[in-house]
Structure 1
């Protein structure tokens, strides 16, 4: 099993990246929280590689698949964008 994280491609070539940069998106966030964000992003990449959005179902049926999306749980709120032709999920913003 390969280590996951920002810009590390999965077996099918998908990865996630901070946009515009890691410093801009994550800033001085503590390491523990950055690991949580990384784990969630790894999961979103896995879903995107299968053509699935966690809230809306299939990415293939979405009229605007590159729109800004959100993911939230009891620990964080993420804004991200899925770009299928680049095989990337771009992390835009994080609220803890």
Structure 2
């Protein structure tokens, strides 16, 4: 798997971005942690482009589709927002 990185669209035109800015969200996080965050966000973008939420299933059935969402694994927790009409997943916060 190759990392697309922030702002680089996948085959369906979806991408992820830090909101309000990369400095605000990632700060001086070490490069290896930023690569981990980018890999997770690339995966969330791929799921969002198929209208799938990793926790709740279909985004089509979500009564509040632009709500703040969380994703966590053994390495990190991210807060993000999916905005379908912009084809974007906005990264809001990261905890390692």
Fold match by TM threshold 0.5: yes
* Residue matched to 1:70: 70
Deviation at 1:11, TM superposition (A): 1.1
Once the two structures are superposed, residues 31-74 of structure 1 have per-residue CA deviations (whole angstroms, 9 ceiling, x without a partner) of 00000000000000000000000000000000011000000000
SS of equivalent residue, structure 2 residue 17: strand
Q: Closer, same or farther in 2 for the Cα pair 1:19/1:30, shift >3 Å?
A: same
Aligned to 2:32: 32
Inter-partner Cα distance in structure 2 for 1:61 and 1:76: 27
Q: What is aligned with 2:19?
A: 19
Query: How far apart are residue 12 of structure 1 and its match?
Result: 0.7
Question: Aligned residue pairs: how many?
Answer: 96
Correspondence for 1:54: 54
Provide the TM-score with structure 2 as the length reference: 0.97
Q: Segments of 4+ in structure 1 off by > 6 A? A: none
Structure 1 segments unaligned to the other structure (5+ residues): none
Structure 2 unaligned spans of 5+: none
